[in-house]
Structure 1
Amino acid sequence: MGIEEEEVVELRDGYVFPFALWGMFVVVVLIYFGTRVSAPFGRHIRRGWGPSMSVREAWIVMQSPALFVLALVYHHGQHHLATVPHVLLRLFQLHYINRCLIYPFRIRSEGKAMPILVCVFFCLFNVLNAYLQARWISHYGTYPTSWLRSPQFVLGVALFFLGLGINIWADSVLLSLRADKHDRSYRIPRGFLFEYVSCPNYLGEIMEWFGWALMTSSFAGLGFFLAVTAILVPRAAVHHQWYLKKFSNYPASRKALIPFLY
């Protein structure tokens, strides 16, 4: 690509990126109102959402842009060889390596389906988000090496890894509740954060992306954090109500998402 062509691409992206960023905040508002109806997958699966696909395949398809689109866009950024953007890239990928390449093969998904419409929505969302995060950290953002010692980065990394650990641990507890792949029953999860909230896995993921928003100190990171929160807070409330209706002996002291508060 010649210099003139690069300038044209840069000019076009100068319009695309702000438009996409505003689009993310519009999506946050739409998600906030849309999640009043619980997404029809997992324990909340129901008819009327069109054709479905395997849950395992759906997870891989809808999470894959966060790995592959992210990497493609990142490596076209002017700062893609710099230290801090590279660190941020690997942290972001760490979450999605688990979500896209590990978690789908841990779940007992035999006989379970997800509406294709839901898969397509999350896939498109991840394309938008991957573009925004990668383009910001590798091109528009400015991160000197000293950023790695900044309070925002240090606190953000701590929250990110704490949230990631909680998320993976909670997933493991939930997955262990079923004896084998043919077991379709539900049980009350116990231990550690499950004694305080119904959805520590969601709490962990929200913590991760709040940490990401701090690490990047960007509107792109903030938009993603708000989107995740808009998705998971209402879903945690729905999960909590489901547990209360499903089990007469469900611990009354548990909250939905935040210990002692919500």
Structure 2
Amino acid sequence: MAAMEIEKLDIYNAKSGKFVTSLYGLKTSSSVLDVKHSINLQKSVLKPERQEVRLEQKGKGLKDEETLADVGVKEKEAKLYVKDLGPQMGWSTVFLCEYAGPLFIYLWVYHRPWLLYGEEAASKPVSLCAQLAAGCWTVHYAKRLVETKVVHRFSHATMPLFNLFKNCTYYWGFSAYVAYHINHPLFTPPPLFQTYTALAAFVVCELGNLSIHLALRNLRPPGTKERRVPYPDSNPLTMLFNAVSCPNYTYEVGAWVSFTIMTQCLPAGMFALCGFYQMAMWAMGKHRNYRKDFKNYPNRKAIIPFLL
């Protein structure tokens, strides 16, 4: 069927309901991204990446690749709603800032600066546990930085600028808090058996997390937003896909629980608990979307096998 021209498409503010502008010359075959570009021509401050276009004022944001016909806009005169998401910043830039901070902050505190511990602290011996903890922390965040540059393929190019400050406050603040206690001259390490056992679990979880990220990367062809159901591959660490929808989060939580046991540090446990709560929320959301978008989605939990 030939595309029909939409004589006038009225755009309203999704927050206030007030009229924003009218668009002309679009067709039912025009994409949501075309609508965003047309809005930007009328309202220069509303760059396409900071817009969320909705069919209804309180509705869900439409995908850029959907056409107006796909979402039910087929009348000669119609209306849509736009939400201003605010100033945006690239996902990779935000992630690099998030992860570089914890790496440098922890290593700075590891050297026991006089500003935190006094003049004599740097000359006192550092326990093997504290040394291993610094190594684990460094490996984890160095891995994240590398993954951000060469592994992850983001479905969205940008995120709100506010997230940069929120996320950096969380990661940088906890890094200083955890590092201060583990590297304190009065830090008391747990027994060596406990340290080594938890270290082994940490390494397995880090390798598992990397394996899942690589598997997810291979699901999405470069330059696309295609979504597929993830399944285990030849790597045995990806077998967790049989039990949960987001095994990358499962391994991430496992790594920080292991780190907490390895150091027997309460701030590290608080960091693990806060991280688990946030990742559980993300995992349950992704799990719901998988079940909604794929009819024959496997019987899995979101993040914890058999439980959650």
| TM-score normalized with structure 1 length | 0.75
Q: Against the structure 1 CA distance between its residues 229 and 103, is the aligned structure 2 distance closer, same or farther, given a 3 Å change threshold?
A: same
- Correspondence 1:62-141 to 2 at 5 A: 62-75=98-111, 76=113, 78=121, 82-84=126-128, 85-109=130-154, 112-139=157-184, 141=186
Q: Against the structure 1 CA distance between its residues 210 and 141, is the aligned structure 2 distance closer, same or farther, given a 3 Å change threshold?
A: farther
Q: Against the structure 1 CA distance between its residues 198 and 48, is the aligned structure 2 distance closer, same or farther, given a 3 Å change threshold?
A: farther
Paired amino acid for 1:164:
E
Count the aligned residue pairs: 213
Q: Against the structure 1 CA distance between its residues 126 and 255, is the aligned structure 2 distance closer, same or farther, given a 3 Å change threshold?
A: same
Q: Against the structure 1 CA distance between its residues 97 and 248, is the aligned structure 2 distance closer, same or farther, given a 3 Å change threshold?
A: same
The 8 Å contact of residues 62 and 120 in structure 1, kept in 2 or not, is answered as no
Q: Note if 1:177 corresponds to 2:213.
A: no
Larger RCO, structure (CA 8 Å, separation 6 or more): 1
Q: In the TM superposition, what whole-angstrom CA distance separates every residue of 1:39-59 from its partner, at most 9, and x where no partner exists?
A: x9xxxxx95542111111111
Q: Note if 1:157 corresponds to 2:199.
A: yes
Q: Note if 1:189 corresponds to 2:234.
A: no
Q: Does the residue aligned with 2:183 lie in a helix, a strand or coil?
A: helix
Q: Note if 1:235 corresponds to 2:271.
A: no
- What stretches of structure 2 of length at least 5 have no aligned partner? 1-60, 62-81, 233-238
- Correspondence 1:214-225 to 2 at 5 A: 214-225=261-272
Q: Against the structure 1 CA distance between its residues 216 and 250, is the aligned structure 2 distance closer, same or farther, given a 3 Å change threshold?
A: same
Q: Does the residue aligned with 1:168 lie in a helix, a strand or coil?
A: helix
Distance 1:110 1:202 in 2: 18
Query: Which range is displaced more, 104-113 or 82-91?
Result: 104-113
Q: Who wins on radius of gyration, i.e. which is larger?
A: 2
Q: CA deviation at 1:258?
A: 1.6
Distance 1:259 1:190 in 2: 15
Q: In the TM superposition, what whole-angstrom CA distance separates every residue of 1:167-222 from its partner, at most 9, and x where no partner exists?
A: 11111110110122x11111100011112110000000000000111111121111
- What stretches of structure 1 of length at least 5 have no aligned partner? 1-39, 41-45
Q: Does the residue aligned with 1:91 lie in a helix, a strand or coil?
A: helix
Paired amino acid for 1:150:
F
Distance 1:110 1:244 in 2: 19
Say which of 209, 213, 216 aligns to 1:167.
209
Q: Does the residue aligned with 1:150 lie in a helix, a strand or coil?
A: helix
Q: CA deviation at 1:74?
A: 2.0
Distance 1:113 1:176 in 2: 21
Q: Against the structure 1 CA distance between its residues 96 and 250, is the aligned structure 2 distance closer, same or farther, given a 3 Å change threshold?
A: same
Decide which structure has greater helix share. 1
Q: Against the structure 1 CA distance between its residues 52 and 250, is the aligned structure 2 distance closer, same or farther, given a 3 Å change threshold?
A: same
What is residue 37 of structure 2 aligned with on the other side? Answer: none
Q: Against the structure 1 CA distance between its residues 115 and 247, is the aligned structure 2 distance closer, same or farther, given a 3 Å change threshold?
A: same
Q: CA deviation at 1:158?
A: 2.4
User: Quick one: percent identity of the two aligned structures?
Assistant: 26
What is residue 30 of structure 1 aligned with on the other side? Answer: none
Distance 2:84 2:150 in 1: 27
The 8 Å contact of residues 160 and 211 in structure 1, kept in 2 or not, is answered as yes
Paired amino acid for 1:67:
L
Q: Does the residue aligned with 1:53 lie in a helix, a strand or coil?
A: strand
The 8 Å contact of residues 244 and 303 in structure 2, kept in 1 or not, is answered as yes
Q: Against the structure 1 CA distance between its residues 148 and 114, is the aligned structure 2 distance closer, same or farther, given a 3 Å change threshold?
A: farther
What is residue 259 of structure 1 aligned with on the other side? Answer: 305
Decide which structure has greater strand share. 2
The 8 Å contact of residues 208 and 251 in structure 2, kept in 1 or not, is answered as yes
Distance 2:146 2:101 in 1: 12
Distance 2:132 2:265 in 1: 16
Distance 1:254 1:219 in 2: 32
Distance 1:62 1:261 in 2: 30
Give RMSD over aligned pairs. 2.3
